[in-house]
A and B are shown apart, each in its own frame.
Chain A
Amino acid sequence: MKSFPAGGIHPSDNKLTAGNKIERLAIPSSVAIPVSQHIGAPAEVIVNKGDIVKTGQVIACSKGFVSTNIHSSVSGKVNKIEEIADASGFKQLAVFIDVEGDEWEPSIIRSSDVDSNITLSSEEIIKRCQEAGIVGMGGAAFPVHVKLSVPEGKKCDVLLINGVECEPYLTSDHRLMLEHGEEIIIGVSILMKALKVDTAMIGIENNKPDAIENLQKIASRFLGITILPLKVKYPQGAEKQLIKALRNREVPMGKLPIDVNTVVQNVGTAFAVYEAVQKNKPLFERVVTITGKTVAKPGNFMVRIGTPISTLIDVAGGVPEDTGKIISGGPMMGKALRNTLSPIVKGTSGIVLFPEEESTRKEVGPCIRCGKCVTVCALKLEPYLMATLSEKGMFERAEEEGVANCCDCASCHYICPAGRPLLDYLRLGKSTVLKMARERAAKKLAI
């Protein structure tokens, strides 16, 4: 069984909700939909206070190419267009809607019959993805139509689908593969048509044997789609690691997957693309896992975008008494929430609650030069060095050492026996170095 060779760690799975069927979360009484839920320019609001909106109606328009539309996830009246504090307390512009009923845009096909007849052309598919606001559902929320638009001079020959879900605790992709496998496979065919490729490989870690079996059965009826089981290793879901595991190709430093003729998409994205293309349904809801060892009723829920996180936590039984941290995302790359009133957005894959004893970090000590961080780095970088350079403000040297290539997987931070907060320093280094690079590029243009 394949995997990526260099680095990697094995945190405990803790897939507590792997057996929980997806339930529909009741629509809350009001939602707050941020206009920036994706990488790229925030969308521009096109509704006003007092407007009546329908579920699936466009409320904010894409601004530029690397941007996408935002749709209302409910029907009701626009209460206000104001800033809301996001999970870290930063203010984000959002459209607040008071819910009235659940009236959908008439153009959306509401029947749940699986439709495998793909009638749209390649260009029409890409256009539909942009109109429907489809972004990468693995958490990065990169606009899909941008990835599908292969730039001039580059070529794609294989589509890779990420069914790995390597973050501990999260099971939303797993449940999608079990309960909506056929829609996912059709979504993959749609993506293959958009990219004009005839080969797709779906990578699934072998801690999900039921998902592998289900998708293998369905994929056998379709041309060119193979399911490949992978050995469990974190961070297998990272683009570059998945490409190495499935195609045995290495994306060079500073380059993108398209440079090795590959495009990678998440299974959740394939599902969203199916709904957008076959059912004319824009992206306004997603599966979110709510879990934790002390949570009373953990589960996987289909949640409307803009629902406050507190609503989801209440349905799961409320915040347990000795909770130390509430994480949005997974425990490796997620963020500890500063307030639970912030809304669920397109990139929210899960909410994990940790008891106090599992929430505190190790005590910080000096680097003992053990080299474990170098051993586990899947990108073959030197985390101890880049982290110390970033800490001391030596950003030019950090740039030379390749800190901009760090994918934030936190394997080094996890393994460090001295408890050094490596990810914090690496993120500082990365953001500073990228800012420096942007300023250099701007200066060059000016000359």
Chain B
Amino acid sequence: MSSTVIITVVTLLILAFSSSVILYFISQKFKVEEDPRIDQVQEVLPAANCGGCGYAGCRNFAEAIVNAENLEGINCPVGGPDVMAKVAAILGKEAVKSDPLVAVLKCNGAPENRPQKVEYDGAQMCRIKHNYFIGETDCSYGCLGSGDCVVACKFDAIKMDPKTNLPVVDDDNCVACGACVKACPRNLIELRKKAAKNRKIYVACSNCDKGGPAKRACNVACIGCGKCVKVCSYEAITMENNLAYIDATKCKMCRKCVDECPTGAIIEVGFPPKKVKVEVVEDAVQSN
């Protein structure tokens, strides 16, 4: 080998070696001290970075939870109780019991019940419509049907039904991250306690007008009559601003309020159809 080659190789080797030594010392000197548990926690998180926990991504959640005193109020809705149990184990803290939630739309104003009065040809965004006017129907509280909630959902859990012009939640895909709740300019979507077999009982209305205007705008509106409040034996229903509200944590799903409601504003979902009593008409049978 010629001397040029040897000199070149040796020079480069020396450069490489000294660079790596310098880099090593610099990386040690400027090392950011981080709690190793943050990495451990991040490992068990779903990595969806959806913001459903209220933090800016999974890493931010991991940092927050490692530095928190206890796990109260910090929850990953996508990972659910399994992931939270793992996180609690890593941190050596108690896992907090939290009920699974699901998104529920508090409006049932399909066109057959809530007729359209005007046409709108502006930009199709609920937030824009909400600022411009009360909507195409006479209910100024109800769903505007342009699907801001559908756009916001990252889990394919909410779709627009073209027949009713209302969004429909897929209970199995919904992780209750709250994106649709934030997207709705009229606050129509609520994260309610998820019951067995995806059963639900809720007041599917958000109209705060008095009974007359509410009913004129929509057939199935809550008219604030208060019958449901009276019939509930578990004090689960309250009335505020002409609108009834069922507390899902107190409701025992007896369905008395559903029967009592004169307009059909309270809906039951996921229950088997009620058995209809058949009365035998004796005289008619005998005369034949």
Contact = CB atoms under 8 A, between A and B. Distances in A.
Q: Is B one of A's binding partners?
A: yes
A421 B129 CA distance: 12
Contacts of A364: 123
Contact of A428 (B131, B134, B138): B131
A104 interface: no
Given A89-B140, A90-B140, A338-B118, A428 B125 contact: yes
Contact of A361 (B121, B125, B131, B138): B121
Contacts of A427: 128, 131
A335 B132 CA distance: 9
Contacts, number: 42
A88 interface: yes
A327 to B, nearest CB: 13
A85 B139 CA distance: 12
Nearest to A361: B121
A8 to B, nearest CB: 24
A431 B118 contact: no
Given A88-B134, A90-B134, A425 B128 contact: yes
Contacts of B122: 361, 421, 424
A436 B138 CA distance: 30
A406 to B, nearest CB: 15
A227 to B, nearest CB: 38
A120 to B, nearest CB: 42
Interface in B101-157: 117-118, 121-123, 125, 127-128, 131-135, 138, 140
By size class, the interface of chain B is 10 to 19
Contacts of A431: 131
B133 A90 contact: yes
Interface of B, helix, strand, loop or mixed by DSSP: loop
B140 A421 contact: no
Nearest to B132: A88
Interface string B44-66: 00000000000000000000000
Contact of A424 (B123, B135, B140): B123
Nearest to A391: B125
A360 interface: yes
A89 B134 CA distance: 5
A391 B124 CA distance: 10
B240 to A, nearest CB: 19
B179 to A, nearest CB: 11
A338 B134 contact: yes
B180 to A, nearest CB: 14
Contacts of A90: 133-134, 140
A436 to B, nearest CB: 14
Given A427-B128, A428-B128, A88 B133 contact: yes
Contact of A89 (B121, B127, B131, B133): B133
A360 B121 contact: yes
Given A90-B140, A338-B118, A425 B123 contact: yes
Kindly name the residue among A338, A361, A421 whose own CB sees the greatest number of chain B CB atoms within 10 A. A338
A85 B117 CA distance: 14
Nearest to B138: A89
Interface of B: 117-118, 121-123, 125, 127-128, 131-135, 138, 140
The 10 closest A-B pairs by CB, nearest first: A89-B134, A424-B123, A88-B133, A421-B123, A424-B122, A361-B121, A428-B128, A424-B128, A89-B133, A338-B133
Given A391-B123, A421-B122, A427-B131, 13 more contacts: A89-B133, A90-B133, A90-B134, A338-B118, A338-B134, A360-B121, A424-B125, A424-B128, A424-B132, A425-B125, A425-B128, A428-B123, A428-B131
